[in-house]
Structure 1
């Protein structure tokens, strides 16, 4: 899956969506974080997700190696 950013939900897009909820009176403007904070959240989530995927890949690789050696 090669996504060059067409479907990415950027910090600016997220901020704009949150402001739209303010306009609809579903959120208060004081509850909307700055774009910088949203970028930090996305960065932390991305780093965590990459680490988790790497760990799962390593575990799967170890399982496959053990199955191969056991034959």
Structure 2
């Protein structure tokens, strides 16, 4: 699942971190938040946890 977004602040994420997903108005729209701050992950894979409605980073793709 790829999430495209344009945030002014892009933070690096690490395996094991958990993020809240806020659903947007349109289908497939949304914001991934970390500690209440919008975050985009370009360094990891986010896995959605249906039970908690949170994304969990389970892989690190920083090595290109």
How high is the TM-score relative to the length of structure 2? 0.22
Q: Give the greater-gyration-radius structure (CA).
A: 1
Q: Tell me: higher relative CO, structure 1 or 2? Use CA pairs within 8 A at least 6 residues apart.
A: 2
How high is the TM-score relative to the length of structure 1? 0.21
In proportion to residue count, which structure has more strand?
Answer: 2
